[in-house]
Amino acid sequence: MTTDTASRTDELQRRWAGAMMDNYGTPALALSGGKGVTVTDVDGREYLDFFAGIAVSALGHAHPAIVEAVTRQVGQIAHTSNLVLHEPGVRLAERLQALLGRPDARVFFANDGTEANECAVKLSRLHGRAMDPSGNRLRIVSTENSFHGRTLGSLSVTGNAAKREPFEPLPGPVSFVPFGDVQALREAVDGTVSAVFLEPTQGEGGVVPAPAGYLRAARELCDATGVLLVIDEVQSGIGRTGHWFASLAAGVVPDVLTLAKGLGGGLPIGACIAFGDAAGLFGPGSHGSTFGGNPVSCASALAVIDTIESQGLLDNVTTTGAALEGGLRAIDNPLVATVRGSGLWWGVQLTSACAAAVESAARDRGVLVNAVKADVLRLAPPLIVSESQVAEAVRVLAEALDAVSAAQSEADQSQGNGLPA
């Protein structure tokens, strides 16, 4: 890099800081394009994208099926409002019913994950009120370390105090139990509870899969108590784990299932899907969204589902996911504590809070991964990734880890035995 010309990235970062709220901190990367699993930044550098815009870009970037579907739809009609129906929305809801194998499922389309969960919170309220009209059965049980979104309803069931507390008071009551602990769940679900909210794997929590049998135990508990089981598949759904739905793969059908991230393949859409009695809780006027499930996002989601099916991408997730797991497990570096996940969705638990440094070192070497927590890296490449791209990303990640651990031991030595000065 020359010193007299600031990069396009630098310039955009300055302008960003002068115009945007600081809720994200100024991002290190400014992207201008992408093709497949590769993205290009505004200075022309290319990266292998093992982050996919937070597990969103299921078909990678500029996939011809999405480009074609979105272009056609936007040229036809882009927006109708929800006072008017349109075929892409009906078709997408029917496709979801078919994938779920449940013609009794009913779908509400939102714009993103938090709105899908907001809808689930509202359904929980109606369910609790139907069970106990006195209003003493409105409690939601959620899990510690969970993430369900940033709007107040979804935030109220998010088990991360640092994200929640500045915005209290939040809707409630909500109880949080340790994730994966069946006994704690049993104790928390009493006669004041309307719904249980669970992720099959805690994504933002650091890619932490539920222990085997946990979702089934939750299903049995909810059946026995009449409590709604709400499964948040915003991150796990639509192929990420090698299955259309992680809950169904675990043998569990929720009462309410939420989707978003991968569903639109990069266009904004979320879905709240209810089964059985829960599917009938809303009546005309209960809930709404001006933009939710707009024809363009629905066309994109249909292209995503069609392509996953026609290209056999669930199988690709399983085979390339196994290669990714194997590659990550073979990394020999003292910074790596454990590797966990499934499909194309992996968390690398580090032994110290250096995930941001590893993310940055990998980016400098041309691979995007995500420091999902201070001590956890998340990998979530597009579902179209190839085995050679997996091998390349793992090689670069191992180099980045080596660079960070070398820098750390150098710093430790200069401080003497690694003890704080």
Residues at the contact surface with ligand PLP, assessed by CB under 6 A: 112-114, 117, 147-149, 199, 203-204, 232, 234-235, 260-261
* 150 labeled binding residue: yes
CB of 107 to ligand PLP, least distance (A): 17
Which residue in the shown chain puts its C-beta closest to ligand PLP? 113
Q: Which is nearer to ligand PLP, 147 or 282 (CB)?
A: 147
Q: Where are the beta strands (DSSP E) in 20-94?
A: 31-35, 38-41, 46-49
Is residue 75 a known part of a binding site? no
Minimum CB distance to ligand PLP, residue 145 (Å) = 11
Nearest CA-CA partner of 393 in 353, 346, 355: 346
Cα–Cα–Cα angle for 225, 231, 236, rounded to 5 degrees: 155
Sequence-separated (6 or more) residues with CB below 8 Å from residue 222: 189, 196, 228, 229, 255
Instruction: Mark 202-237 as b/e (b = at least 16 C-beta within 10 Å).
Output: bbbbbbbbbeeebbebbbebbeeeebbbbbbbbbbb
Output 154 or 307, the one with its CB closest to ligand PLP. Answer: 154
- For residue 68, say whether it is annotated as part of any ligand binding site: no
| Residue 38 labeled ligand binder | no
Structure-token pair, residue 155: 């935030």
Any known ligand binding at 366? no
Whole-Å CA distances, 131 to 23, 125, 198, 218, 274: 40, 10, 21, 19, 17
290 is in an annotated binding site: yes
| Residue 114 counted as an annotated binding residue | yes
User: Taking the complex as a whole, how short is the minimal distance between the CB of residue 209 and ligand PLP, in angstroms?
Assistant: 13
Rounded to a whole number of angstroms, the minimum distance from the CB of residue 412 to ligand PLP is 35
* Nearest distance in Å: CB 203, ligand PLP: 4
CA dihedral 35, 39, 43, 44 (to 10 degrees): -50
Q: Name which of 59 and 336 has its Cβ closer to ligand PLP.
A: 59
**Quick one: tokens of 243?**
């299955």
For 173-289, where are the alpha helices, taking DSSP H only?
182-188, 214-225, 246-249
Q: Which is nearer to ligand PLP, 180 or 203 (CB)?
A: 203
Token pair belonging to 169: 């008071």
Structure tokens at 397: 């990640």
Q: Tell whether residue 349 is among the known ligand binding residues.
A: no
Least distance in angstroms from the C-beta of 260 to ligand PLP:
5
Q: Quick one: 110 or 227, whose CB is closer to ligand PLP?
A: 110
CB-nearer residue toward ligand PLP: 119 or 336: 119
Query: Binding site: which residues?
Result: 113-114, 147, 150, 232-235, 289-290
Query: Binding site for pyridoxal 5'-phosphate: which residues?
Result: 113-114, 147, 232-235, 290
